[in-house]
Amino acid sequence: MYDKINHMVYQRVEELESMCEKIERYAEKREIIMYITAYLENSASKETIIDRTMKKFNITEEDAEEYYAEVFQQ
């Protein structure tokens, strides 16, 4: 019986950890998109925005370009 309870608790903890990771990824994505949008409003060039985004968030150039493209799709 205790094994069953421990297993249920362990499963719930795993579910909560997964949910937290998803929330963290979503929050980071929203932060990056807001950052890019702010630079676009100030008429910064694409290259400048991508370069600064890479440095600020420690992401690859490809990821920064994907976020930049996503802003234009909105």
The rounded distance, in Å, linking the Cα atoms of 33 and 64 is: 10
pLDDT 10s digit of each residue in the chain, 74 long? Answer: 778 788 888 899 999 999 999 999 999 999 999 999 998 888 889 999 999 999 999 999 999 999 999 998 87
pTM confidence score:
0.75
The rounded distance, in Å, linking the Cα atoms of 16 and 25 is: 14
Tokens of 28: 């980071």
If one counts the domains in the chain, the total is: 1
How high is the pLDDT of residue 57?
A: 96
How high is the pLDDT of residue 7?
A: 81
Phi-psi bin for 43: left (phi > 0), alpha (psi -120 to 50), beta?
left
Tokens of 22: 């998803």
Phi-psi bin for 58: left (phi > 0), alpha (psi -120 to 50), beta?
left
User: Which domain, by its residues, includes 11?
Assistant: 2-73
How high is the pLDDT of residue 73?
A: 84
